[in-house]
Amino acid sequence: MSLPCHLYQRWCWYLPARLRALRLEVDGDRFLLRTGVLRQVKRAMPNANIQLLALRSSPLHRRYGLASLVVVAPGSRMRIPGLPEAGARELANNFFHGDNSSHGEAKA
């Protein structure tokens, strides 16, 4: 099923803008995630509460070398889509090996 031409042209800017607006920062003691184009949302999760970091990728993600990073803590869950697979894997590995203070900003 395809969208009518006028609907596609009207909303085709949204997905690239949404991915450009995604920001992940790993501060010394917390994950900070900022999302949103029209309505910005900022979320923070303390590193001490994080129980699981998981990489998820669909066949389409794998084709383009992308992955989603899922961060799970008691009572909350963050999904960071569209990260380069190598960068997401490095971020997760460095976090679990205790080197979580030297990260800058990861852009999707």
Structure confidence by residue, pLDDT tens digits, 33-48: 887 777 888 888 888 8
What domains are defined for the chain? 5-101 (2.30.29)
- Write phi, then psi, for 65 (nearest 5 degrees): 75, 30
| pTM (two decimals) | 0.64
Q: Tell me, what's the pLDDT at 56? A: 92
**Distance in angstroms between the alpha carbons of the first and the last residue of the chain:** 28
Give the span between the Cα atoms of 53 and 51, in whole angstroms. Answer: 7
∠ CA 20-24-29 to the nearest 5 degrees? 165
Structure confidence by residue, pLDDT tens digits, 52-105: 889 999 898 889 898 988 988 898 888 888 888 998 888 888 776 655 443 444
Give the span between the Cα atoms of 55 and 63, in whole angstroms. Answer: 15
